[in-house]
Amino acid sequence: MIDLRSDTVTKPTQAMRDAMYHAEVGDDVYKEDPTVCRLEELAASKLGKEDALFVTSGTQGNQIAVLTHCRSGNEVLLEQDSHIFYYEGGAISAFAGVQTRTISGVRGEMNPDELELAIRGNDIHEPETGLICMENTHNRAGGAIVSVENMKAVYNVAKKHAIPVHLDGARLFNAAVAKQCSIKEFTQNADTVQICLSKGLGAPIGSLIAGSSEIITRARKWRKRLGGGLRQVGTIAAPGIIALTEMVDRLSEDHHHAKVLAEGIGAVVGLEVINNVDTNIVLVDVSGKRMSSTEYIDKLSENGIKAVSFGPSVVRFTTHYDVTSQQITQALKTINSL
Ligand SMILES: Cc1ncc(COP(=O)(O)O)c(C=O)c1O
């Protein structure tokens, strides 16, 4: 099987497995796990923030960020196709008691003027705007890179109104690698950032939230409340250190594979690549094949390729560490023959 469903399907490398086996551990709720402390320091320094917190998943990281920034009854402004709005089971309403207000985006970018108009005033009838969230790279926009300029403009609007900003950076390293710039160019336009170690970077588990020491201290309390305070967890933080030190630069290979795949698919009659393929995601409209996305995915699966549906006629292919150039060539041959 050539598994192009997601960059979450990668298996830990041998170096990661060795690091897990040999990890020095302690009780992390007492902040006594040296491996977790090392991972948190490393993440904070890479992201240009004072402190970072190891959490179990991207969803948990985003939830903790919202809980930390907002009070119940606040309104959160976020892009209409963002993961926090679309794919987290309504968790921010369920747990933080906030309501969402979505802003339409173009390739994941919100218009700063439109965003500013959505910020609430002091009217007693209105909820307070408690947080603005961005997502980079943007999953539903096909791994699109939200530009530093757009992030800066959004951040400036937020600061003008004294509203905190959270960045869902589950795949942020992809943006920095593709743009050949420091990841800090993106993170300086957010008060908190969440990054995933298990998307594209190959670690089996884990995310981090980074921000000021004050915010991360409060976030640590929310993590505990949610039952996310773990004990000898260096065993799972150890592969995260390898993810951050050894697996970032190679993301360019995934981007190259995605471009090759998109070019090949673009030449197939009945298939249309509908995103710009900035990073490792290719979105394909299959309606020209007179099939729904799920029918097309079933056909792919019968022929040794896995992909996911991204709407009634759109199929998502994602490249990652466990897909080789040969497999990309093979996948294209198969897609051509269908
Ligand atoms: C942009 C984005 N944010 C957050 C998440 C959630 O991460 P997790 O699956 O680790 O909860 C995902 C998962 O795919 C994602 O794509």
DSSP class per residue in 269-322: TT-EE-S---SSEEEEE-GGGT--HHHHHHHHHHTTEE-EESSTTEEEEE--TT
* CA 90 to centroid of ligand 1, rounded, Å: 14
Alpha-helix runs per DSSP H in the chain: 14-22, 34-47, 58-69, 83-86, 91-96, 112-118, 148-160, 172-179, 184-187, 213-225, 234-246, 251-266, 293-302, 325-337
Give phi and psi for 227, each to the nearest 5: 80, 20
Rounded Cα distance between 142 and 138, Å, is: 7
Type of residue found at 211: G
All structural domains of the chain, each given as residue ranges with its CATH number in brackets, are 14-246 (3.40.640.10), 250-337 (3.90.1150.10)
Å from CA of 242 to ligand 1 middle: 20
- Stated length of the chain: 338
| CA-61 nearest atom, ligand 1 | 11
* C-beta separation of 102 from 78 below 8 A: yes
- 5, 83, 85, 209: residue to mutate for ligand 1 pocket, most atoms within 8 A of CB: 83
Atom of ligand 1 nearest to the CA of 196: 10
Q: What local confidence, expressed as pLDDT, does residue 63 receive? A: 98
pLDDT computed for residue 164 by the predictor? 98
Q: Which residue has the tokens 């884990």?
A: 206
Q: What is the pLDDT of residue 262?
A: 98
Instruction: State percent of the chain over pLDDT 70.
Output: 100
- In the sheet where 308-309 sits, what is the strand order? 272-273, 281-285, 314-318, 308-309
**Best residue among 78, 196, 198, 208 to mutate for probing ligand 1, ranked by most atoms within 8 Å of CB:** 196
Give residue ranges with CB within 6 A of ligand 1: 57-59, 62, 83, 135, 139, 168, 170, 196, 207
Low pLDDT (below 70) residues in the chain: none
Q: Could you identify the atom of ligand 1 that is nearest to the CA of residue 62?
A: 4
What is the distance of C-alpha 183 from the center of its chain? Answer: 14
Alpha-carbon distance values, 123 to 126, 128, 129, 329 (Å): 6, 9, 12, 59
The pLDDT, as a whole number, for residue 21 is 98
CA distances (Å), origin 139, targets 96, 109, 201, 208, 223: 23, 12, 16, 18, 25
Q: Quote the CA–CA distance of 137 and 81 in Å, as a whole number.
A: 12
Here the tokens at position 288 are 């020209």
pLDDT at position 208 = 98
pLDDT of residue 335: 97
| Cα 170 to ligand 1 centre (Å) | 6
Question: What is the 59 CA–ligand 1 centroid distance (Å)?
Answer: 6
Distance CA 126, CA 172 (A): 33
Tokens 């942020």 belong to residue: 172
- Element spanning 208, H or E: strand 207-211
The span from the CA of 265 to the CA of 284, in Å, is 8
Pocket test for ligand 1, best of 8, 9, 87, 310 (most atoms within 8 A of CB): 87
CA distance 225 to 219: 10
What residues have CB less than 8 Å from 277, skipping those under 6 apart?
Answer: 142, 143, 258, 259, 262
